[in-house]
Amino acid sequence: MKYFTTTVKASFAAVVLMLLCLGQASASWQEASQVVDQKTKEMLDLLHDESFKTPEREPELVAAIDQILSPVVDFDYISRVVMGKFYRRATPEQQQQFSSVFKTTLLKTYARAIVGFSISGYEIQPPKVESPEPGKQVVTVDVIGGNGARYALVYYMSKEESGWRLVNVLMDGVNLRLTFKNQFADIIQRSNNDVGQAIINWENLVDPDKKGDA
């Protein structure tokens, strides 16, 4: 009887611990999804401002997008992953240079892309399974275009000291971070494995203001 009681107590404790862990993960997902929700709303506010769609106001649009995204997008980490094995070969100055160039080209490209894109709404989908790591959460957002088409955006969020940060995005199944990594590897090969030249060529090939200069 004593053994049975001990076993029941142990099982009950295990169940309570499991529920606490699930509750923590769920709370973590709620936190991450709230960040995504807030930033999505802020981006939609920009899209609804028709004045930003004029070429003259593009620098202001880029600055506004930067202000929205920089607090939650870990550009340094993403640029490091995009450089891959070449990150260690780069000097600290080159590492910082690519991080800056990567961020600038991405913001400009994104600004021009959203100007011609109509969004009528979005829906954040609840997770199908709990994340095994509370500090790493996946937030799926269904974006509804003006024509009724739906696009799936999957945001990979990581909890850092400064809060939840975006570290990768899947757009309709396309891994953007991996796509950029493959693109950098191709550019560095065409640059004779010269990291400094590859950074220059990246800017010339990816920056919408400089495409074709490389």
Over residues 59-110, the pLDDT tens digits come to: 999 999 999 999 999 999 999 999 999 999 999 999 999 999 999 999 999 8
Please check whether residue 128 is in contact with residue 137, taking contact to mean a CB–CB distance below 8 angstroms. no
Identify the CA nearest to 76 among candidates 141, 165, 192, 9: 165
User: How many angstroms separate the CA atoms of 30 and 23, rounded?
Assistant: 10
Fold type of domain 2-206: Nuclear Transport Factor 2; Chain: A, (3.10.450)
Please check whether residue 28 is in contact with residue 134, taking contact to mean a CB–CB distance below 8 angstroms. yes
| Predicted confidence band of residue 54 (pLDDT cuts 50, 70, 90) | confident
Residue-level pLDDT at 213: 55
Mean pLDDT, rounded, for 50-57 = 87
CA distances 180 to 77, 80, 103, 199, 206, Å, are: 13, 11, 12, 13, 10
Q: What percent of the chain has pLDDT over 90?
A: 67
Domain boundaries, the chain: 2-206
Mean pLDDT, rounded, for 169-198 = 96
Statement: residue 38 has pLDDT above 60: yes
Tens digits of residue pLDDT in 135-181: 999 999 999 988 889 999 999 999 999 999 999 999 989 999 999 99
